[in-house]
Amino acid sequence: MSTDRLDRGGMWIAVASYVAWGVMPLYWHLLKQVPAMQIMAHRVVWSALLVSAWLTFKYGRGWLRETLARPRAASMLAISGVLIAFNWGLYIWAVNAGHVVESALGYFINPLFNVILGVVVLRERLNRVQWTAVLIAALGVLWLTFNYGRFPWIALALAISFGTYGLLRKLLGAPPVRGLGVESLYLLLPALLFLGWAEANGQSHLFAHAAAPAWDVGITGLLVFGGVLTALPLIGFAAAVQRIPFSLVGLLQYISPTLQLLIGVLVMREPFDRDRAIGFAFIWVALALYALEGLLRARRSGPVPA
């Protein structure tokens, strides 16, 4: 697709989705008084209801049967659902435990981890420039490991869980929003059971207890709207990738971790000293090199036939 035919509406939908994901640390921070596992469970419940309703409205009641009719769809979406739930829970906990900067690092590393998965699992081949980018990123991770003060396990766990999730979804090939709908339905019952257990044991305050009042309307509203924030950016992203070049999507994806990093440093006032800056610089150089190589390769290939 040539740049003069770029679908600007699709591009801005993608930008809006990435901006929404990028500013989410501010949203989850508003729910700091709620335990991370409960936030994640509410996120599952409300997103499951919203996505299921949207899919039923758009495709009719047969969307679930059609999605699960794909070979291995039931088992692979169950596994990917567990992975995305782990990723969501860890991310929410990290944000409210003061690790926004390290979380951002995880999502900077994620695209390069995807490259490694492509080589190891999908038998894809890298050229010299791509291998150089991967090695530079690895040096950045090693630098942060030895100079961060501790092993950056949050960043790596986020990158590995989301990268593996993406690999499973690629292998299955299910439409992204339908896949999320099935994953959410798999997670719905465990999430409801967990919330019921937490409420019965006085660890949740969605309803008033004898010993403690219920959360105020604002907290409850934020928990419910968290499901909307989960579903809408993904629905927008799924629509946008059908309208703009995938190479542009690859560049736009760095909006989210960049915003997360800025929020962590400028808003949350997390430390960002020289050693951390050096480690991040390795990652940024690697990403820039990989992205530039991809753009040049796409330009040499010319427009994709319609």
H/E stretch holding 234: helix 217-240
Task: Evaluate whether 160 touches 113 at the Cβ level (below 8 Å).
Answer: yes
* Mean model confidence pLDDT for the chain: 85
SS3 at position 85: helix
Q: Which two tokens stand for residue 253?
A: 């994806």
Q: Give the integer Cα–Cα distance in Å for 109 and 184.
A: 26
**87 burial class (0-12, 13-18, 19+ CB within 10 angstroms)?**
buried
For CA atoms 263, 266, 272, 274, give the dihedral sign. positive
Q: Label residue 304 by pLDDT band (50, 70, 90).
A: very low
- Residue 10 is inside which H or E element, if any? helix 8-22
Q: Which residues, at least 6 apart from 129, have a Cβ–Cβ distance to it below 8 Å?
A: 289, 290, 293
Measured CA to CA, the distance from residue 22 to residue 267 in angstroms comes to 13
Measure the N-to-C terminal CA separation of the chain; round to a whole number of Å: 9
Strand, coil or helix: what is 127?
A: coil
Query: Tens of pLDDT along 82-122?
Result: 999 999 999 999 999 999 999 998 988 888 788 888 888 88
Residue 154 pLDDT grade (very low, low, confident, very high; cuts 50, 70, 90) = very high
pLDDT > 90? residue 243: no
**Token code pair at residue 282:** 């390795």
DSSP 8-state symbol, 148:
S
Lowest pLDDT segment from 16-30, 228-242, 261-275: 228-242
The DSSP output letter for 209 is -
CB 256 within 8 A of CB 22: yes
What the block records as the tokens of 67 is 């999605």
pLDDT on residue 5: 63
Q: In angstroms, rounded to a whole number, what is the distance separating the alpha carbons of residues 74 and 59?
A: 19
Least confident of 15-19, 55-59, 98-102, 302-306: 302-306
Q: Quick: pLDDT tens for 34-73.
A: 889 999 999 999 999 999 999 999 999 899 999 999 889 9
Residue of 235, 212, 234, 204 lying closest to 31 (CA atoms): 204
Instruction: Work out the widest C-alpha separation in the chain, in whole angstroms.
Output: 69
